[in-house]
A and B are shown apart, each in its own frame.
Chain A
Amino acid sequence: MSRHPAMLSRRSLLGAGSALVVSFTLARPPFPTATAQSAPPRLPGSLRTTPMLDAWIRIDANGISVFTGKAELGQGIKTALLQVAAEELSVETKQITFITADTARTPNEGYTSGSQSMQDSATAIRHAAAQARELLIAAAAVRLGLPVEQLTAKDGVVSSPDGRRADYRELATAEFLHLEARPQSKLTDPGNYRWIGKPMPRVDIPAKVTGAIAYVQDLRLPDMVHARIVRPPSYGARLRSVEVAAVERLPGVLKVVRDGHFLAVAAQREFQAVQAMDALARASQWDEDKALPNPNELYDWVRNAASKEYVIASVGNVAETAGRSLEATYHRPYQLHGAIGPSCAVAQAEAGALTVWTHAQGVYPLRAALAEMLGLAQDKIRCIHMEGSGCYGHNGADDVAADAALMAMALPGRPVRVQWMRDQEHAWEPFGAAMVTRARASLDTGGSIATWQYEVWSNAHSTRPGGAGNLMPAWHLGRAFSQPTPEPIPQPTGGGDRNAIPLYQFPNMRIVHRFIPQMPLRVSALRGLGAYMNVFSLESFMDELALAAGVDPVEFRLRHLADARARAVVELAAEKFGWDAARKPSRGLGRGFAFAKYKNLAAYTAVAAELEVERESGQIRLLRFVAADDSGEIVNPDGVRNQIEGGIVQSTSWTLREAVAFDETRIRSRDWSTYPILRFTDLPEHVEVHLIDRPGQPFLGTGESAQGPTAAAIANAVANATGVRIRELPFTPARVKAAIAV
């Protein structure tokens, strides 16, 4: 650990009033001792990787700045982090300038993904802010000649009962917070919260609803030009020939770039670039191969492709003895992130350095990938996050940043804005993987689960950059980078096997993840990763077993659930929904229930659904969803609610409508008519969310927790309404109609 001179000077500063230092030291040692250094304690959240306080909080004459390596993706993280910072700094939120992911300014917190931002960044900011506040109070104690006990910090001022005051901005010298965080902090008592646990209007919404600059799409730099890419017609297509001369003469065209199979054009005006792109596409000829699985045999391909077996849980002996046993197989197609706004980035190359404005989820990993692709040193590249359209995982954000970087290098000095077209977004984003799961279980004589076996076949659920080979445009360059063979994300979070291990207590259990490295269709992280399919499967199967056991599905879950917080969420959802175990099946009207603890590590979410199935058409009419959620200590209740509500509606769209269409050569889902999603007329009548707050408990990420339970609640309600179990997603009218076969 390096000792900064400023620390020593502050140590002597604190030593100036020895009586004060005693009380301070008793409360908590102000600085790590030599022994503490020899056995580094575990720091909270992202302080583990970025321990310096001034990486998170800076206070100077201009005020207070707070930094996060996480990015606002529309999930409201900026507002929640601001609440946490304001709470522990004991200031108004409006006193804080908040800075998000930027490789030149903020900590490296990897990706904003996995519902991790509260656990990683809010925890770090909370502790850094609390420690900063205590240091400010200590400094004020010295300045005012008063013991710290007599001082309170509020709204950026430390004051004494007799009215003496010291402003944070005067107390903080330039290097004031340039020291390492300690593992323990004096956190604000939940009884004194001003910001945490209170609904706070999102800070980003006013700009978004009035047309202020809110997105990278809105960034306009002086002398900026527009570029469009001509993508190959299919993944492996090769550019055989292209006539560029006529395109170069089109109005506004500045440059046509051809580098291997990467083909693009830049123009003065945006629509000129679009027209030139169309002309360039018409002037190009490509060679294509049939390289994709037969879509009619997709699940055979998933089951039969070479895979690596990982036994991720093995408890007791799953050899079945007596009792009834059931087996079921479930299917999930490829599904899209489908951002409403296509991916966009702006890049500018100047004097050997490159700046990229991007909506990527990880500015640092993107920087590393761009550096490799361009052969530039990482310190020559700055990636600045700006919001884009919601991404829901790894979509085209990184790729379009690579497009913009390539075009900026080709047009030195000019900022270049690249935006994908709709068909490019649909066809080139990495999809959520197609998956097959097989569950087998047996019941004991008392109607409880005696053995449980589960297998999941899946592609990778993360092919995020970090290396150039995961930037799609780099595949097409003359000096091409190929996509590396992916590795599975290990448990306990897992990728394809995320939530494959049930939270339920089964005496005998074996869970196998069959990881398929080969990726004929491009895949990566889609909100929830494998949890969406695994929760759909195992929560469907729980209902199948409950039916076989003759037990109410909610009661059946509780029978196998030991975790008290899980039970509380299940019971609350059932109660608020008005779940009635004595209810008789009603033809056409169905009720379904499902539960999961996301990743078995994050938020607990239970969802109950009520719907009608029209037998003649197979149409599902959604009546209501009632959800209960425990996300640990809640910072912004309205933010949590918004995430759960959104998760329910988005998962409903996946579950009822969505499957990527393709043939053996090309992706056929290229717009919203070939990939329909939920519209307003398809919505449930009512969605309600009930929250269980756990003040003082760790934050548990909420962003993805509703995806799986919603799918299974729908499936269980459809089974309840029709008496027929559907195990293949999505539940389109045609599939439902065929299943119930009137």
Chain B
Amino acid sequence: MLTLNINGRPHSVEAEAATPLLYALRDELGLNGAKFGCGLGQCGACTVLLDDRPILSCITPIAVTQGRQITTLEGLGGIDNPGPVQRAFIAEQAAQCGFCIAGMIMRAEGLLRRNAQPSEQEIRTHMRANLCRCGTHMRILAAVRRAAQAVRSARVDAPPTQDARR
């Protein structure tokens, strides 16, 4: 029995240590966000964050996630309270079938957590790991730009911290 820290909460899983994280998330914990696309680390549909960095959960054994923070699409917000990146994807209607989009959002989240002011080239290079087949790419890029803007505004608009008020 291993314990995974997912979206800020511990979850016990029965899967063996070598089981790819994706199967633990989907099959054992019932989380739909990360998708099975290739099982080979080639398409990015299974992207989640491990300690704020995008990883391919289909080829990441659960053993290596021990003691680290896993963030899935569900951790960014739900249908009634979507997070900034999710809201940006809705605002840009950046989906057709949407099967790749969960991975796209997590890949973008990983970028924006370390750089909220990415250039167009940085966005495209960063998103390169993820495949989309419907050809929604241009809208995905627009959504990432919009999300970056939202993240920057949120920082500016955020109420001052306790320290700053003093």
With A202-B95, A206-B79 as contacts: A646 and B135 at CB distance below 8 Å: yes
Q: Which of the candidate stretches B39-47, B148-156, B158-166 sits at the interface with the other chain?
A: B39-47
A75 CA to B141 CA, complexed, in Å: 19
B90 touches A209 (CB 8 A): yes
Contact string against B for A residues 206-226, beta-carbon threshold 8 Å, 1 for contact and 0 otherwise: 111111111101101000001
With A217-B35, A270-B27, A389-B99 as contacts: A680 and B105 at CB distance below 8 Å: no
A338 CA to B90 CA, complexed, in Å: 25
Min CB distance A730 to B, Å, is 16
B38 touches A202 (CB 8 A): no
A680 touches B141 (CB 8 A): yes
A residues within 8 A CB of B3?
none
Residue of A nearest to B99 (CB): A389
Min CB distance B82 to A, Å, is 6
B118-164 residues with Cβ-Cβ distance < 8 A to A are 123-125, 127-128, 130-139, 141
A206 CA to B37 CA, complexed, in Å: 21
Judged by a CB distance under 8 angstroms, whether B77 is at the interface is yes
Residue of B nearest to A75 (CB): B96
A646 touches B95 (CB 8 A): no
Residue of A nearest to B133 (CB): A340
A204 CA to B26 CA, complexed, in Å: 20
A207 touches B97 (CB 8 A): no
Judged by a CB distance under 8 angstroms, whether B2 is at the interface is no
A660-695 residues with Cβ-Cβ distance < 8 A to B are 671-673, 677-681, 683-684, 687
With A206-B90, A387-B97 as contacts: A421 and B39 at CB distance below 8 Å: yes
B22-59 residues with Cβ-Cβ distance < 8 A to A are 23, 26-28, 30-33, 35-40, 42-43, 45
Q: Which of A270, A340, A646, A652 has the most CB of B within 10 A?
A: A340
A337 CA to B3 CA, complexed, in Å: 39
Size bin of chain A's contact surface: 35 or more
Min CB distance A599 to B, Å, is 20
A650 touches B133 (CB 8 A): yes
A671 touches B38 (CB 8 A): yes
Judged by a CB distance under 8 angstroms, whether A709 is at the interface is no
A519-570 residues with Cβ-Cβ distance < 8 A to B are none
B residues within 8 A CB of A672?
38, 40, 42-43, 131
Min CB distance B83 to A, Å, is 9
A209 touches B101 (CB 8 A): yes
With A210-B78, A340-B45, A340-B132 as contacts: A73 and B97 at CB distance below 8 Å: yes
A338 CA to B74 CA, complexed, in Å: 27
A residues within 8 A CB of B32?
211-215, 217-218
A209 touches B97 (CB 8 A): no
Judged by a CB distance under 8 angstroms, whether B15 is at the interface is yes
Min CB distance B144 to A, Å, is 10
A677 CA to B100 CA, complexed, in Å: 14
Residue of A nearest to B77 (CB): A210
Contact string against B for A residues 411-435, beta-carbon threshold 8 Å, 1 for contact and 0 otherwise: 0000000010110000000000000
Residue B31 contacts which of A206, A211, A338 (CB distance < 8 angstroms)?
A211
B102 touches A211 (CB 8 A): yes
**Number of A-B pairs, beta carbon distance below 8 Å:** 180
A residues within 8 A CB of B27?
226, 269-271
Judged by a CB distance under 8 angstroms, whether A392 is at the interface is yes
Judged by a CB distance under 8 angstroms, whether B65 is at the interface is no
A623-665 residues with Cβ-Cβ distance < 8 A to B are 638, 642-643, 645-653
Judged by a CB distance under 8 angstroms, whether A390 is at the interface is yes
Residue A422 contacts which of B39, B72, B101, B138 (CB distance < 8 angstroms)?
B39
Judged by a CB distance under 8 angstroms, whether A323 is at the interface is no
Min CB distance B91 to A, Å, is 9
Q: Which of B38, B97, B101, B128 has the most CB of A within 10 A?
A: B97
Judged by a CB distance under 8 angstroms, whether A342 is at the interface is yes
B135 touches A648 (CB 8 A): yes
A678-717 residues with Cβ-Cβ distance < 8 A to B are 678-681, 683-684, 687
Judged by a CB distance under 8 angstroms, whether B19 is at the interface is yes
A648 CA to B96 CA, complexed, in Å: 14
Residue A679 contacts which of B35, B40, B131 (CB distance < 8 angstroms)?
B131
A214 CA to B133 CA, complexed, in Å: 18
A533 CA to B82 CA, complexed, in Å: 42
B93 touches A212 (CB 8 A): no
Min CB distance B146 to A, Å, is 13
Judged by a CB distance under 8 angstroms, whether A205 is at the interface is yes
B138 touches A687 (CB 8 A): yes
Residue A642 contacts which of B23, B28, B79, B139 (CB distance < 8 angstroms)?
B139
Contact string against B for A residues 56-92, beta-carbon threshold 8 Å, 1 for contact and 0 otherwise: 0000000000000000011110000000000000000
Judged by a CB distance under 8 angstroms, whether A144 is at the interface is no
A residues within 8 A CB of B89?
205, 209
15 contacts between A and B (CB under 8 A): A73-B97, A205-B90, A208-B95, A209-B73, A215-B99, A269-B27, A269-B28, A271-B20, A389-B99, A642-B136, A645-B138, A649-B137, A671-B38, A683-B124, A687-B138
Q: Which residues of B contact A (CB under 8 A)?
A: 15, 19-20, 23, 26-28, 30-33, 35-40, 42-43, 45, 72-74, 76-79, 82, 86, 89-90, 93, 95-102, 105, 123-125, 127-128, 130-139, 141
8 closest A-B pairs by CB? A74-B97, A649-B135, A390-B97, A211-B33, A208-B98, A646-B135, A389-B99, A650-B135
Known: A387-B97, A649-B138; 16 extra A-B contacts, CB below 8 A, are A206-B79, A209-B73, A211-B78, A211-B102, A214-B32, A217-B32, A270-B27, A340-B45, A341-B35, A419-B36, A422-B39, A645-B136, A650-B133, A650-B134, A671-B40, A680-B141
